Amino acid sequence: LVKIGQTAKLFWTVKNSEIIAFAKLSGDVNPLHISRKYAKKHNFKNVLVHGYLLGAKISSIIGTKLPGKGCLMIYQSINFHKPIYPKNRLLISTKVYGINRSLKIMNLKINVKRNKMLIATGEIACKIPY
């Protein structure tokens, strides 16, 4: 059983191909995500990673590591503190801070870091099968 304080993490190096695939899949072809020239014109170093592409990576932790099989995400919030660019190597960490076993709901905090710098934070609630 999952316990309060339990953690899981995932390292992810963002690939350009993932950004392009996500743009096609989601339909979010905002030039900030697909045109380096446009992004630079708007004071960014490169194209920006879609926020929900990061959300999808967070979902992979929830569905495979903590709590894993049978978990159903019912709430997710992400606060972006710094932009995420292609080739960034991120450490995505989750930590259980609440469990309601009678309602079968678990709450987690999310931290995303690049070179020890906090890039994004968030919270997740998910339905657990036990």
Q: What does the pLDDT read at residue 7?
A: 97
Pairwise CA distance, residues 30 & 79, whole Å: 20
Q: What does the pLDDT read at residue 109?
A: 98
> Long-range contacts: 103-106, Cβ < 8 Å, 24+?
104/128, 104/129, 104/130, 105/74, 106/2, 106/67, 106/71
For a pLDDT cut of 70, what percent of the chain falls above it?
100
pLDDT band at 129 (very low <50, low <70, confident <90, very high): confident
Pairwise CA distance, residues 119 & 72, whole Å: 25
Strands (E), 1-130: 7-13, 72-80, 89-100, 105-114, 117-127
pLDDT band at 62 (very low <50, low <70, confident <90, very high): very high
Q: What does the pLDDT read at residue 39?
A: 97
pLDDT band at 3 (very low <50, low <70, confident <90, very high): very high
Q: Which residue in 73, 68, 122, 118 sits closest to 97, CA to CA?
A: 122
Q: What does the pLDDT read at residue 33?
A: 96
* Mean pLDDT, rounded, of the chain: 95
Residue 45 in tokens = 């170093």
Per-residue model confidence as pLDDT tens digits over 29-39: 999 999 999 99
